[in-house]
Amino acid sequence: MAKLYFYYASMNAGKSTTLLQADFNYRERGMRTLLFTAGIHDRGGKGMIDSRIGLRQAAIPFDEETDLRLIAEDEHFKAPLACILVDESQFLSAAQVRQLAHLADEVGIPVLCYGLRTDFQARLFPGSAELLALADALIEIKSVCECGRKATMNLRVDDSGNAVREGEQREVGGNERYIALCRRHFMQRSGGVA
């Protein structure tokens, strides 16, 4: 039976690398995959899943209006899909997560979603909240805080390295914009934004 998986972690934990490794494993065995990534994410170029260690793969970019179910069912009709992989899944809408659940439950395609659990204010992203509610399996990918403890939070910083406490939930950035921290150090540096 196909399942809906949510692999979540803080920034810089290797979520995209893990996704690309899973994709490679399927394709190496002659199985067909379908990759999606958030259109807002353009670190490696629009429609590219890229990792900090240099792995890259083209993907279908999505926004809030994209019908993932329709795209996947059309592709599955052309040739069976062994797996659907979604990067930056925190940017999914609740409706899109339900579309992915349908693909697992009714079409029988495993769906692996990779993304952040919370934003820079320690609030759930809408896509992450729906995945936490509906996923068959929740898998945490570990990252490390500067103190050596498990990093679970994402601190947004300005150009001077100071904590940013307000702003849009959706802001793409890398090491220059976000620091993965344990809760204790996140609360200390952010002033308890949560």
153-189 pLDDT tens trace:
888 777 776 766 766 655 565 555 688 888 888 888 7
Q: Which of 153, 146, 147, 155 is nearest to 190 (CA)?
A: 155
Q: Helix, strand, or coil here: 57? A: strand
Q: What is the mean pLDDT of residues 69-84?
A: 97
> 168 — phi, psi (to 5°)?
-65, 145
Instruction: Indicate the average pLDDT of the chain.
Output: 88
Residue 136 has pLDDT above 70, yes or no: yes
Kindly state the greatest CA–CA separation across the chain.
53
Complete domains list, the chain, with CATH: 4-142 (3.40.50.300)
Per-residue model confidence (pLDDT) at position 170? 59
Indicate which residue of 65, 88, 130, 168 is catalytic.
Answer: 88
pLDDT value at residue 133? 97
Nearest to 49 by CA among 140, 144, 97, 113: 113
Residue with tokens 């899973």: 22
To the query of whether residue 106 is one of the catalytic residues in this protein, the response is no
Q: Determine the pLDDT at residue 50.
A: 80
pLDDT of residue 194 exceeding 50: no
- Report the range of poorest mean pLDDT among 100-114, 116-130, 150-164: 150-164
Question: Encoding tokens for residue 87?
Answer: 């990067």
Q: What ranges make up the beta strands (E) of 75-174?
A: 83-87, 111-116, 137-140, 153-156
